[in-house]
Amino acid sequence: MRFPKPLLLAAAAVAAVSMLAGCSASGGSPDKLKFVNDKSWDFKAFSKVSQDQIDMGLDASTYADQDAFVAFVKQSLRTGKAPALFTWHTGGQLEELVDQGLVAETSSIWKEEIAKGDVAESVKDLYTIDGKQYCTPISVDNWVMYYDKAAYAEYGLQVPTTWQQLMDNAEVLKSHGIAPFWSSGGNPWAFVWFQIILAGSDLQLYKDLAAGKASYTDPGVVDAMNVWLDMEKKGFFSDPGSKTAPETQMKDGKLAMIPFGTWYASTISQVLKEGDDWGAFPIPSITDQGSTPVAIETAPVCATVKSSQKADALKYSQWWMSAKAQTAWSKQQGNLPFNPKSTASTQTFRDIGKEFAEPDKYDFYLRYYEATPTPILTAALDQFTGFMTNPGDPEPYLKGIEQVAKKYWADH
C-alpha cells in the first residue's frame, strides 16, 4: 500500500540497503538464498525442509513494520545486491514492480507446473501481467469463517449454510454477551466486511467495482453498506479499535467468529487447538447467486532480476509449488495447500478442501486488497475505518472513495 512514510522509516530503509550492498555478492551464503519478507511465518524451519530436499535453504530477514518493508524492497531491488527472493502482493502492487523491470519472469515455471497438475490454471491469472507470469505462490488461501466450538456447543448452534442462519447465530451469541464477529477498524483489515457483504450480495458488481466499471455510489454498493450498517447497529461486531488479537478475544470467550484466510490457522492455533477449540466453515452468500462466492488471496514469493542468485531463486520458487513442498508447508503452517497432490495437515482443512472442490458449488474471486488499485485501496481503508468507528449513513464514506476512484480510472 502507498502510505505516507515517516522520515525515520525511509532513513532506516536507505541504511538497510547500504548495509545490504556491503554483503557478499550473492546477498547470502552459497547454499542459502537471501530472502526478505513481511510475514510472521517460520521460514527458518521451512529452510531445513528445503535443504533436505533440494540442498538449498533460506537466509530469511523478516520486517514487522509494513511501511519499512515496502520502502526497503522498493529501494533494494534497484541495487546489484538485491535479495534473491522477497514476499509481495499480486495485483497493482506487483504490476508496479514489473513495470520497472525489477521482478524476474516465471512464465516457463507456470507452464510446466500447470502441465503437471500442481496448480490450477485460474491461479495463474493472479500472477499474469500483460500475458506473462511473475513470481510464484507460497500459498493460495481461501477465506473462511473461524468459529469458537465451545460457544457454538454451549448455545446449541449449528454451522450455518445460509446467511440467515449466520445472522440467527449472531443474535443468539449477542444475547449472551459474546461479540459474534471480529472487526478491525484500521489498516490493513478495514476492507474485510465490505468484501464479504458486497461479494456475497452481488459478485459481478464487486468485480465491476474493482475493474472501474461501476461506481462506489451505485445503489447496489449502497445497499451492501446498509447491510453492514444494520449489523453494526445490532452490535454484532467486536470493538474495531481493540488492540487485543482476535484469537485472544476468542480464547477469552469474548468473540465467536473471525473471517480470515486459511493462512490464519497457524496464528489461531498458537492459542486454541484445531478441531477441539476452533473449526472453520465457508462464509454463506447473502443472495442466491447460483454458487457461493469465496475470496482468495495468494502470498507470492518473487525472484529479483538483479540478484546474482536469480537462477537458484527461480529453482527454489518452482520447488515451493511441488506436492512435497506444499505438504510440508501445510504441516508446518496448518493451512490448506494449493497443490491438489498435497495433503492438508488438519482434518478441518481436509474437509473444507473437499467441500471447495465440489464442481460449480463455489465461485472464487480475488480479495479486495489485491483486486483494488492501490490509490483507491488506500482511500477505501480510511473510509471503511471511519465507517466502523462512527457507523452512520454510508453514502458520505462511499463518496469519499468514489472521488479517488473516479480520478484514478480517468487516468488509467
User: What span, in angstroms and rounded, lies between the C-alpha atoms of 313 and 7?
Assistant: 32
Position 195 scores a pLDDT of 98
User: What span, in angstroms and rounded, lies between the C-alpha atoms of 392 and 386?
Assistant: 10
The three grid cell numbers given for residue 356, joined into one nine-digit string: 471447495
The three grid cell numbers given for residue 211, joined into one nine-digit string: 475493474
pLDDT in tens, 130-182: 999 999 999 999 999 999 999 999 999 999 999 999 999 999 999 999 999 99
Same domain, 359 and 384: no
Same domain, 184 and 249: yes
User: What span, in angstroms and rounded, lies between the C-alpha atoms of 232 and 237?
Assistant: 6
User: What span, in angstroms and rounded, lies between the C-alpha atoms of 309 and 305?
Assistant: 9
* Residue appearing with cell numbers 449449528: 158
pLDDT in tens, the chain (412 residues): 333 333 333 334 334 433 333 333 334 455 899 999 999 889 999 999 999 999 999 999 999 998 899 999 999 999 888 999 999 999 888 999 999 999 999 999 999 999 999 998 889 989 999 999 999 999 999 999 999 999 999 999 999 999 999 999 999 999 999 999 999 877 789 999 999 999 999 999 999 999 999 999 999 999 999 999 999 999 999 999 999 999 999 999 999 999 999 999 989 999 999 999 999 999 999 999 999 999 999 999 999 999 999 999 999 999 999 999 999 999 998 889 999 899 898 999 999 999 998 889 999 999 999 899 989 999 999 999 999 999 999 999 999 999 999 999 999 8
Position 3 scores a pLDDT of 35
Same domain, 217 and 349: no
| Residues listed for the chain | 412
Same domain, 29 and 58: yes
User: What span, in angstroms and rounded, lies between the C-alpha atoms of 143 and 118?
Assistant: 21
Phi, then psi, of 144 in degrees rounded to 5: -135, 175
* Residue appearing with cell numbers 480475488: 366
pLDDT in tens, 45-96: 999 999 999 999 999 999 999 889 999 999 999 988 899 999 999 988 899 9
Same domain, 137 and 154: no
Alpha-carbon distances, residue 17 vs 21, 135, 269, 309, 359 (angstroms) = 6, 22, 35, 17, 48
Same domain, 136 and 164: no
* Residue appearing with cell numbers 542468485: 309
Position 30 scores a pLDDT of 57
Domain annotation covers residue 339: yes
Same domain, 237 and 347: no
Structural domain boundaries, residue 135: 7-141+297-365
Give the residue among 317, 358, 323 at the shortest CA–CA distance from 343.
Answer: 323
User: What span, in angstroms and rounded, lies between the C-alpha atoms of 59 and 41?
Assistant: 14
User: What span, in angstroms and rounded, lies between the C-alpha atoms of 323 and 273?
Assistant: 26
* Residue appearing with cell numbers 483507491: 376
> Does the bond joining 188 to the residue before it have cis omega, within 30 degrees of 0?
yes
Same domain, 81 and 177: no
Q: What is the DSSP string of 156-179?
A: T----SSHHHHHHHHHHHHHTT-E
User: What span, in angstroms and rounded, lies between the C-alpha atoms of 302 and 126?
Assistant: 13
Same domain, 13 and 129: yes
Domain annotation covers residue 1: no
Are 139 and 329 in contact by the 8 Å Cβ rule? The answer is yes
- The CATH number of whichever domain residue 187 belongs to comes to 3.40.190.10
Query: Is 0.85 topped by the overall pTM?
Result: no
User: What span, in angstroms and rounded, lies between the C-alpha atoms of 356 and 336?
Assistant: 11
Position 93 scores a pLDDT of 86
Same domain, 209 and 219: yes
Same domain, 347 and 290: no
Are 17 and 76 in contact by the 8 Å Cβ rule? The answer is yes
Same domain, 175 and 290: yes
- Segment holding 146, helix H or strand E: strand 136-148
Long-range contacts made by residues 385-393, C-beta under 8 angstroms, separation at least 24?
A: 385/185, 385/186, 385/187, 385/190, 385/240, 387/225, 387/228, 387/229, 388/183, 388/185, 388/190, 388/232, 388/237, 388/240, 389/185, 389/240, 389/241, 391/229, 391/232, 391/233, 392/229
